[in-house]
Structure 1
Amino acid sequence: MDLESRVTNSERKQKIKKEIISWAQTLVVVLVLVVAIRAFLFTNYIVYGSSMMPTIQDRERVIINKIGYDVGSPERFDMIVFHATETTDYIKRIIGLPGDTIEFREDNLYINGELMEETYLNEMKEEYKTRSYTDDFNLEWLTGEKQVPEGHIFVLGDNRRNSIDSRHIGFISMDQIVGKADIAYWPIKDFRKLK
């Protein structure tokens, strides 16, 4: 082997080594970004149970926006994930915000005395034509409070006949909120923005 061939082989090895180092650095940066995004911005959840049907089905996977409420406030009818216990998270819909009065009368939701449309329940209400889909109640009957306390929300599952929610566990502290459910992504055929 002549000198020129040895130099070329040496240069080739150096070039390959630099290429491997470059790819390794890129991979490390990508992994750090993925971990940071998952930890601080978004995460995914598998929904277990039927409490949010028909909006979200059992075992559907959803993406949770973890930073949305750092820059904005929860809004009525947002679907959120929150820590129900130390080991269990629930997904429910925000019905009452701090200071709200809430009443269900004849299957109609009244917030601060004003009738509110719950169009996301139309399909289920149709199935329950002969009886109420949501039993009558008001906050005072359930909680002894006339209004949702400051720093808390009142949540319900969309499947009102089969949901453990604020009617059973009381008000949810804003500190318990993990984030807003934005997208259902699995199964892929049912990919959609959640409303």
Structure 2
Amino acid sequence: MTTILVLAAALSVLAPAVLLRRGLAVITVTGHSMKPALSDGDRVLVRRAGRSRVRPDDLIVLEMPGDAGAWPRPPLGTAALDDRYLLVKRVVALAGEPTPPESVPEPAPRVPSGALVVVGDNRRYSLDSRQLGYLPYDRVVGVVVRRFAARG
């Protein structure tokens, strides 16, 4: 029994390090902006990815800007996600594509280079491009590859 507990404790410490090394992260969803696709308390497995892996209709995790639309720290890169406020949203348009109607406060005809447009599935409760505008690719953490439903 003690061996099992020690092994479980070791795995709980090593698993995040292994996931990060493999370009994966586990994120817990907070809030209701992605209902019905994701619920409060669900966990998602995220593949850390550059812009070439992001496609329209993907669920992605990205860093939310701070006050006045500015980011208090440099882009994430491969850094740990500690102390970053993250959003889970659906991609509706990528750089170079037409800007969807009513998706950003000051729309351009096409999504600018290096940017994307995201929205929440439950738009009534979502903070997304409709309020934040175009969001830069360098703030994308990655693409959701799997959902784990909340327990309970």
| TM-score, reference length from structure 2 | 0.71
Aligned to 1:99: 96
The answer to which structure has the higher helix fraction is 1
Aligned to 2:5: none
Q: Aligned with 2:127: secondary structure?
A: coil
- Cα displacement string for residues 82-141 of structure 1 (whole angstroms, at most 9, x for unaligned residues): 01135311000000111122334xxxxxxxxxxxxxxxxxxxxxxxxxxxxxxxx265xx
- Cα displacement string for residues 162-183 of structure 1 (whole angstroms, at most 9, x for unaligned residues): 1110000111101000001111
The structure having more radius of gyration, on CA atoms, is: 1
Task: Look up the equivalent residue of 2:60 and give its one-letter code.
Answer: I
- Cα displacement string for residues 140-171 of structure 1 (whole angstroms, at most 9, x for unaligned residues): xx214221100110000000111110000111
CA contact (8 A) 2:26 2:43 kept: yes
State the structure with bigger RCO (CA 8 A, min sep 6), 1 or 2. Answer: 2
Out of 152, 155, 175, the position equivalent to 2:115 is: 152
Aligned residues: 124
Residue 19 of structure 2 is aligned to residue 73 of structure 1: no
Shift of the alpha carbon at 1:185?
1.5
Shift of the alpha carbon at 1:63?
0.7
Out of 24, 33, 36, the position equivalent to 1:51 is: 33
Segments of structure 1 that go 5 or more residues without pairing to the other structure are: 1-26, 105-136, 190-195
Aligned to 1:177: 140
Aligned to 1:133: none
CA contact (8 A) 2:103 2:117 kept: no
User: What is the aligned-residue identity percentage?
Assistant: 27
With over 3 angstroms needed to count, the CA separation of the structure-2 counterparts of 1:138 and 1:172, relative to structure 1, is closer
Aligned structure 1 segments of 4 or more residues deviating by more than 4 angstroms: none
